[in-house]
Amino acid sequence: MNERAAPTGVPAPVTDATAFHRTLPGYRPTPVHELADVARELDLGSVLVKDESSRLGLPAFKILGASWAVERALSERPETHTLIAASAGNHGRAVAHVASTRGLRCRVFLPARALAVRRRAIEGEGADVVVVEGSYEDAVAAAEEAAQAPGCLAVADVGSNGPAAWVIDGYATLFEEAHAQAGYDLLLVPVGVGSLAAAAARHAAAVGVGVIGVEPETAACLTASLAAGRPSAVETRGTVMAGLDCAELSAAAWPSLRAGVHGAVTVGDDEARRATAELAAHGLSIGESGAAPLAALRVLAADPSCSALREAVGLGRDSRVLLLATEDRTGDG
């Protein structure tokens, strides 16, 4: 892949979280696996997978953002006794886990279409779960209202500042690890509200690699926003990629996405399911949200509609592609 100029206007990664994460019990870098047969099939230099199916005792990467956001927030609000979150699953579980380790109460708001297994997992961390009749965005609104009570603190991964920004900073640890573990020149990253993709964009700009967002066809808010040049909400109909079932981007993430992401690829539920099965055949337990980048790589490599994006990132036989597999097969969200 050809060298490219660093995008302008992308904030530098905040690396303070990495030292903090290294102090947490059970911390270790998550592994990077190679899919050599996929690279041969697609005529690429290498295809790698950053496997976030087990991170600090939880089945997803979300604990990196949640733990750092809570650390920062409590330094400003030490009187906090209850953490509040909205989630499709894994963010809420991560916040609940952090609350438990810090001796705090926790309340998590879930949209009605969140699966029962995710509700039970959050309750298993000791949190109270409130099911909201409506979408993820409705759950976010309910959580924001609940967080106005004295002693309560919203730990959101969507918003314009505060915890939403610190969540992005917390994800920098994942990319610092990856950069030390493997050589790559293109990142494919799942996009829900865009916090992880914003961290990817900051990392990519800093080290000179490309980054492409991956979204469900039914929740392509990054695609719509890049086309419009401004944050644009979309209607969502539900998807097996539950963690990516988001109608709009986080305001804290948008500036990094707008300036630093080269484009977005959308995938359907059937493509995500096939990618999940393909990863399972390689011995990797990855859910549909985490498998979406593999599905997107196949689209990017072969679909005529992606020719301009392939050219923009220089995808070719020397390309080294890193896919971010964000969660275990049992913990999509």
Q: How far apart are CA 157 and CA 92, in angstroms?
A: 10
Please write the tens of the pLDDT for every residue from 140-149.
999 999 999 9
- Compute the C-alpha angle 162/167/169, nearest 5°: 95
Reading the block at residue 265, the tokens are: 């690829």
* 118: CB partners within 8 A, 6+ apart: 88, 89, 90, 92, 93, 110, 242, 331, 333
Model pLDDT, residue 118:
84
pLDDT score recorded for residue 195: 96
Look at 6-20, 257-271, 292-306 and tell me which has the smallest mean pLDDT: 6-20
Asked if 199 and 175 touch (Cβ cutoff 8 Å), the reply is yes
* pLDDT value of residue 156: 87
The per-residue pLDDT for 320 is: 98
At 194-206, the pLDDT tens digits run: 999 999 999 999 9
User: Cα–Cα distance between 218 and 230 in angstroms, integer?
Assistant: 19
Note the pTM of the prediction, 2 decimals: 0.92
Residues 208/332, Cβ–Cβ less than 8 Å: no
Helix/strand/coil percentages in the chain, nearest 5: 45, 15, 40
Spell out the domains of the chain, with CATH numbers in brackets. Answer: 16-60+167-325 (3.40.50.1100), 63-159 (3.40.50.1100)
What pLDDT does 189 receive? 98
Tokens describing residue 98: 């952090």
Position 2 confidence tier, pLDDT thresholds 50, 70, 90: very low
Are 305 and 37 a contacting pair, CB within 8 Å?
A: no
Say how far residue 115 (Cα) sits from the centre of its chain: 19
> What's the confidence (pLDDT) of residue 1?
34
